Amino acid sequence: MLPTSIEALLIIALVISPGYLFTIVVRRSVAYAWETSELRLVLTPITAGTLIQLLGSPLGTITIVNLYVAGTLLQNLSALLQWALLVCVALPILSGTFLGWLIARGPVDRVLEVFGLGFYDRTPSAWDYAAQEHDGVWVRIHLKDNQGIIAGKFGQDSFASLDPKRPDIYLQEAWLVDAHGNFVKPVVDSLGVWVAHDVMAYAHFLEGSEAPHARPNNADQPPLQ
C-alpha cells in the first residue's frame, strides 16, 4: 500500500530532512565532497536521518507518530512544532557541526588515517586542498598556450570554486607582473580578477604578508598587461 501525501511528508520530515542537513554540515565542515552517484545522494541522508531518529529523540518521534495514528496530530501543533525544530533543524546541525569538529582534531584524524579516512583521503582533489587556503597567500596563474600570467592576492575575500566541473578562482587583488612573473604593483582601481578553469595551465601558491618579489613602479622590465 502506497503512503498518502501526508504520510509521505511525515517520512520526509522524519528521515530525509534531518539526514540531509546533517550530511551537508558534516561534508562542509570536514572536507567538501560532492556525492558521486544518485544512489549515494539518497542513501546517505536516509541513513543519517534514521540514526538521528534512533539515537537523538526516539521518544519525541514516537509521540508524534502516535498522535498521527490517533488522528490528533493537528490538535497538537505545538508539540509538532517543537519536535520539528528539534529533530529537523537543531539536532542535525548541532550533531553535524560537532562531528565535523571532532573529525578535524589531530588525534582523531590520525586514527582515521589508519582506516583510509584521514583528511587527505577525504579531500577529493589537490585543487580542493589548495583552494581552502585563504590566509597570506599569493597566486601566480599561468595561462594555457603561453597566453601570459595572472597574479594576485588570494585572501579572506577571495574565492575558489570546489565544483569539480568548474574549479575557477577569484582573486581579491589583481597585480601586474613583469616579464619574469615577478609581482610589480597592484592594478589601479581593480576589484579583483576572476580566472576561468579552462584557461588555467597551472598555478603557483606563494606565502607572505607582502607580494613576493614586488618591485618599484619604475622597474626595468615592463609589466605584463
Look at residue 157 and tell me if it is in a domain.
yes
Q: What CATH number should be reported for the domain holding residue 166?
A: 2.30.30
Look at residue 17 and tell me if it is in a domain.
yes
Are residue 25 and residue 112 in the same domain, yes or no?
yes
The pLDDT value given to residue 85: 78
Conformation bin of residue 134: beta by default, left when phi > 0, alpha when psi is -120 to 50: alpha
Are residue 25 and residue 102 in the same domain, yes or no?
yes
Helix (H) / strand (E) containing 80: helix 77-83
Are residue 149 and residue 79 in the same domain, yes or no?
no
- Choose one of 119, 135, 164: the last residue of a domain: 119
Are residue 9 and residue 115 in the same domain, yes or no?
yes
Q: Domain span at residue 78?
A: 5-119
Are residue 115 and residue 131 in the same domain, yes or no?
no
Are residue 106 and residue 16 in the same domain, yes or no?
yes
Look at residue 223 and tell me if it is in a domain.
no
Most confidently modeled of 37-41, 115-119, 140-144?
140-144
The pLDDT value given to residue 44: 64
**Mean of all residue pLDDT scores within the chain:** 75
Distance CA 98, CA 161 (A): 25
Q: Output the pTM of the full model.
A: 0.56
Are residue 74 and residue 90 in the same domain, yes or no?
yes
The pLDDT tens digits for 188-214 are: 988 999 999 889 999 888 887 787 776
Are residue 115 and residue 177 in the same domain, yes or no?
no
Contacting residues for 214 by C-beta, under 8 A, at least 6 apart: 182, 183, 184, 185
How many separate domains does the chain show? 2
Residue pair 78/10 in contact by the 8 Å Cβ criterion: no
Give percent of the chain with pLDDT exceeding 70: 65
- Choose one of 93, 119, 145: the last residue of a domain: 119
The pLDDT tens digits for 44-85 are: 666 677 677 666 666 666 777 777 777 776 777 777 777 777
Helix (H) / strand (E) containing 68: helix 58-70
The pLDDT tens digits for 129-160 are: 777 766 678 999 999 988 889 999 998 889 88
Contacting residues for 167 by C-beta, under 8 A, at least 6 apart: 125, 127, 131, 160, 161, 197
